[in-house]
Structure 1
Amino acid sequence: MIDSVRRVAVISLGGTIAMTAQTAAGATPTLSADDLVAAVPGLADTGIHVEVDDFRRLPGASLSFSDLLELAVKIETLAVDGVVITQGTDTIEETAYLLDLVTAGDMPVVVTGAMRNASMAGADGPANVLAAIRVAASSEARGAGCVVVFGEEIHAARWVRKTHATSPTAFTSYPGPIGYIAEDRVRIVTRPAGSAAVDPRDATAPARTAVVTVGLGDDGTILRAVGDQVDGLVVAAFGAGHVPMACVDALTDLAKRMPVILTTRTGSGPVLRQTYGFPGSESDLLARGLIPASTLAPMKARILLQLLLMTSATKDEITQSFNALP
C-alpha cells in the first residue's frame, strides 16, 4: 500500500523568525524548529507530516558558505516530499540562490522567514511557515527549483530580492512571483529555467570574492584595493553595465588576473553587450575581459562566482557558466 501522507522537513537556521525579545538589548534567536512548528495554527488540519531539525541558531547575517553547503548535503539524504528552510531575512535571497545551485532533483526546497519576531504584534512567522510547508508538500512546486515563500507569494530563487528593511512585504522579484497560495492551494503560474547544478561536495577550495559598487566620481582606487585581497570580483555597475572612464584601467588590470563579473546595480534588467561604445561602456569592458552576468543581481553573481571558484573552476569555465545564464 502506498503511503499518501505528504512529508515535509522543516529545518531551522535561526533568524528573526526564531527570535524573541528577552531583554532591553533586543531580540535574539531562542526558538527551536519544534517551537516554530508548534506556533503554526492550522498546520494539523493540512494532514502533512512534519519533521523538524534545529540545524543552526544564528542570525541570517552570520550564516556562512560552509553552513549552507553542509545543509545542501543534508537535504540530499532526507526521505521527504519537500523541505522548508527557516532563517533570517538578511540573507534569504543569497541562501535561496545558493541552494538552487547546489541541490539537484525535483523536490521542492522552500526558504522562508519573518520580518516581525515572535514577541511582536502581528508576527508573520507562523503564516509564512504554514504557506511554505504547503508549497514544499505540493506536487505543483516540484521542478520549480528553490523558491522563497513570503506573504503568500512564491518567488524563484534567481529573481527574489529583499527590497525593504522592515516591511512584512519586503520580498519582491522581477519580473514577478512565479506563483502564490490562495484558499490553501498552491498555484504555480510560470517556471524559471533550471540552474546549473554545483555538487556541494566539490566546493572545498579556499576562495574569497567581493562586490564593489561603482559610484559617481569613482577613480578605480577602491577597485584596486579590493582586487588585491580577492580571487574574484563582482562589479555592480551603472545602468546596463557602465563605469566611469577613470575605472577602466583598474578593471582591465584586474580582469587579466582574475574573473571579474559585470553586473548592474539597478536591481533589474540585463547587462548589455553591444549597445554603447564609449570607454567604460559594456562593450568596452567586455572587450577588456570582464564577464557579463546577464540579469543576475550583484550579490547572486557573487554566490555563483564563489561556488565556481570553490570547485576550482578555470576562468574559461566561469565564463561559460555566466554566458549560459538566461
Structure 2
Amino acid sequence: MHIAVTGAAGFLGQRLIRQLLDQGELRGQAITRLTLLDQVEAEVPGGSRVEVVSQARDITAAGAFDDMLDARPDVIYHLAAVVSSAAEADLDLGLAVNLDATRALLEGCRQRDLGNTRLIMASSVAAYGGELPETLDDMTALHPQNSYGTQKAMCELLINDYSRRGLVDGLVLRLPTIVIRPGRPNAAASSFASSIMREPLNGEEAICPVPTDLELFVMSPGKVVEALVHGAEVDGEAVGPFRAFMLPGITVSVAEMIDALREVAGSQAVERIRHEPDTKIQAIVGSWPTRFHTRRADVLGFERDRDFRDILQAFQEERH
C-alpha cells in the first residue's frame, strides 16, 4: 500500500508518519511506500523497511503533486495548510495554500483516474461561525468568520463534489482544537491553548490572551492521529454522500484547563500564566463553536478523550 502525506514535516504529519510506520499496515495491507511532501524535507524515523520518498516542495507551484500522484497512492493525507492567524493576516497566501493547492490536488487525482484513492483532508472547527445553536451537528450550516475557516469550508464542498462524481474517495475530518502540542507557539490563533499548559510544565512563563470563561472544543494529538488512521479504514458507503463531519472532542473552558494544570503540577505552575488580553485572538477563537453532537463520528467508530485531565496526563507521560 502506498500512502502519501502533505504537510508531512508538521506536528501532525510527523506523528502520523510514526504511527503508520509502527503499525506497518493499513486496511489489512502492508504499507510498502510513503511519499512525504512539505516545504522542507520531512524527517523519517530510521529502521523501517518501508520505502520512503521525502520531498521538499512548494505545493502552490505548478506540478507540485505530479510525482506523488503519478505513483498512484492508495491513501492521501492532506494536512498541509496555512493556519488561522496567518491566513487571516495574508489572504493571498491562505488562498494559495489552503484552497488553490487543494483544488490542484483534486484535479491531479481526476486527471489520473484515482477515483478509488481515499483522500483525507484535515478541516477545522473554524469552518463554523456566526449565529449558531447552542449545540451543533455535522449538518449545521457553515458560516465561518475568518479566512482560514472560509478556505477550509470551500475545500470541504470541493471534496464532496469530487467524491459525488467518483473522481476521488474523499473524507473531511473537522478537527477540534488540538491540545497539547509540543514545541513552541505557532501562528494558529489557538496556539495559546497548548502554550498555557506546556510552558508552565516546562518551568516557563506563558501568556493567556483570552478570558478564562472562554470555552474550547478540544482533542488530544493522540486521538487526532488515531482518527486520521481510522479515517483510511472506514467504508465510503457508510460515510454517505456528505463526506465532512466533526471529530468527537470534549468541551472545556480555559478556567477548567488551568484547574487541571493546578491539580497535576501545582499552584506554582499556574502562577507562570500571565493574562494579557488580545482582541484579535479573542475575535477569532471566540467565533468558534464549542458544543457538538458528533453522532456520525461516533457511529463510524471514532473515539474521544475522556476528559482534559487525561489529555494533560498523556502529555506529561510523553514528555518523560
Give TM-score, length-normalised by structure 2.
0.31
> Would you tell me which structure has more strand in proportion to its own residues?
1
> Would you tell me which structure has more helix in proportion to its own residues?
2
Give TM-score, length-normalised by structure 1.
0.31
Name which one, 1 or 2, has greater alpha-carbon Rg: 1
Greater relative contact order structure (CA < 8 Å, 6+ sep): 2
